[in-house]
């Protein structure tokens, strides 16, 4: 009996190896994917892809997608999907454009109002899912069409028949909030580095890279905040518990309904942020903005380690998943490959990520 007790005690205090701990991390596959994709482009792409200008070139679309992908990952960890994210980018862009162009509101009012519209729509999405018991896939698929159609009709109404609203850049050019959502940050530092010869200069003497695009800073900040919430706060525990087993979570006192609605609001707010950034950058908005972004965001989340069944995943995984997406999107233009291979490559990455994550999870948990 004493020997059995000793063995049981040993089992309880047994420490895991570093390899085992690393394999349990959901972002492992995404980090491996970044390494493999980087090696692939180092071999096949022009060396200019990995200059400072080239890196900023592929990180910019990665950042825009990553903001959506991190929010989508948190919702997937909570056990739900949101297929209306892309349409929300167009809808929020329309709301924002109308507020600043047609109504002449400054950004300090236009941005919070845009966010409020988005958050309210996300709350409606979540409330319908919870009240009806319908799969979020179906409810948000319906909102994908509703919001896209509302964007199309609304733009025609406010522009007199066009599906594109212009004049945003002129309307916000002198607004003190514009540099927070558009342009490049740390321009002075980059000019100084160019003068020191640390980065390349153009013929005019200006640095080849004027600064860090602000969407990249938003991307990094949101990834860091989401990771902190998931790993270091009670709210993060609630999200994992809700996605793992909502009934058990509810019985344990987790506010499942509030968690799920908050996550739907989060994805809508992320879409609204991307809308504001892209509308100010381009100076216009249109009904097709955000097209297919809902699927790309889910792909980034899945590549990042999120399970379709919920309860597992990470924000950092989605961060690296978005970087893979950005590298492939822009990287093919630096190679001799036909860019039409992009979707084939993306689909293959998704399939490999799902297979890899599933295999790792089974190995770690001992499932058959």
pLDDT, one tens digit per residue, over 169-207 is 999 999 999 999 999 999 999 989 888 888 888 877 788
Q: What does the block give as tokens for 32? A: 């491996």
E strand spans, 63-132:
none
For residue 347, the number of C-alpha atoms closer than 13 Å in the C-beta half-sphere is 5
Q: Is residue 311 part of a domain?
A: yes
CATH number at residue 111: 1.10.3470
Q: Is residue 264 part of a domain?
A: yes
Residue-range definition of the domain harbouring residue 118 = 26-180+213-365
Q: Is residue 131 part of a domain?
A: yes
Total number of domains in the chain = 1
* Banded pLDDT at 7 (limits 50, 70, 90): very low
The model's pLDDT over 60-79, given as tens digits with 9 standing for 90+, comes to 999 999 999 999 999 999 99
Q: Is the pLDDT of residue 366 over 70?
A: no
Q: Is residue 200 part of a domain?
A: no
Which pairs count as long-range contacts for 136-142, CB under 8 Å and 24+ apart, including other chains? 136/80, 136/81, 136/82, 136/264, 137/81, 137/83, 140/81, 140/82, 140/83, 140/84, 141/83, 141/84
Which sign, positive or negative, has the C-alpha torsion 46, 52, 54, 55? positive
Q: Is residue 197 part of a domain?
A: no
pTM as predicted: 0.91
CB atoms within 10 A of CB 269: 20
Q: Is residue 252 part of a domain?
A: yes
Q: Is residue 115 part of a domain?
A: yes
Q: Is residue 195 part of a domain?
A: no
């Amino acid at each position: 009996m004493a020997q059995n007790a000793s063995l049981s005690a040993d089992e309880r205090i047994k420490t895991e190896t570093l390899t085992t701990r690393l394999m349990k991390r959901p972002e492992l596959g995404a980090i491996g994917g970044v390494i493999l994709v980087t090696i692939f482009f180092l071999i096949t792409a022009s060396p200019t892809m990995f200059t400072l200008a080239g890196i900023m070139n592929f990180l910019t679309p990665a950042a825009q997608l990553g903001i959506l992908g991190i929010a989508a990952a948190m919702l997937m960890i909570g056990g739900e999907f949101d297929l209306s994210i892309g349409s929300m980018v167009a809808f929020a862009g329309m709301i924002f454009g109308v507020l600043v162009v047609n109504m002449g509101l400054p950004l300090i009012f236009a941005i919070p109002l845009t966010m409020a519209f988005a958050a309210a729509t996300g709350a409606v999405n979540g409330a319908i899912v919870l009240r009806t018991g319908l799969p979020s896939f179906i409810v948000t698929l319906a909102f994908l069409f509703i919001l896209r159609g509302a964007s199309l009709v609304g733009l025609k109404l406010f522009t007199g028949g066009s599906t594109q609203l212009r004049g945003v850049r002129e309307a916000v050019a002198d607004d003190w909030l514009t540099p927070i959502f558009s342009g490049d940050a740390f321009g002075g530092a980059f000019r100084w580095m160019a003068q020191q010869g640390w980065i390349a200069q153009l013929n005019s003497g200006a640095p080849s890279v004027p600064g860090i695009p602000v969407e990249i800073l938003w991307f990094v900040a949101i990834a860091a905040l989401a990771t902190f919430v998931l790993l270091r706060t009670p709210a993060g525990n609630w999200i994992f518990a809700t996605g793992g087993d909502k009934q058990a979570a509810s019985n344990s006192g987790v506010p499942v309904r509030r968690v799920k609605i908050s996550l739907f609001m989060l994805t809508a707010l992320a879409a609204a942020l991307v809308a504001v950034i892209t509308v100010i950058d381009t100076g216009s908005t249109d009904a097709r903005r955000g097209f297919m972004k809902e699927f790309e965001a889910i792909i980034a989340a899945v590549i990042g380690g999120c399970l379709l069944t919920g309860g597992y995943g990470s924000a950092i995984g989605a961060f690296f998943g978005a970087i893979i997406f950005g590298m492939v999107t822009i990287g093919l233009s630096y190679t001799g490959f036909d860019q039409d291979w992009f979707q084939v490559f993306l689909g293959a990455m998704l399939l490999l990520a799902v297979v890899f994550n599933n295999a790792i999870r089974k190995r770690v948990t001992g499932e058959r």
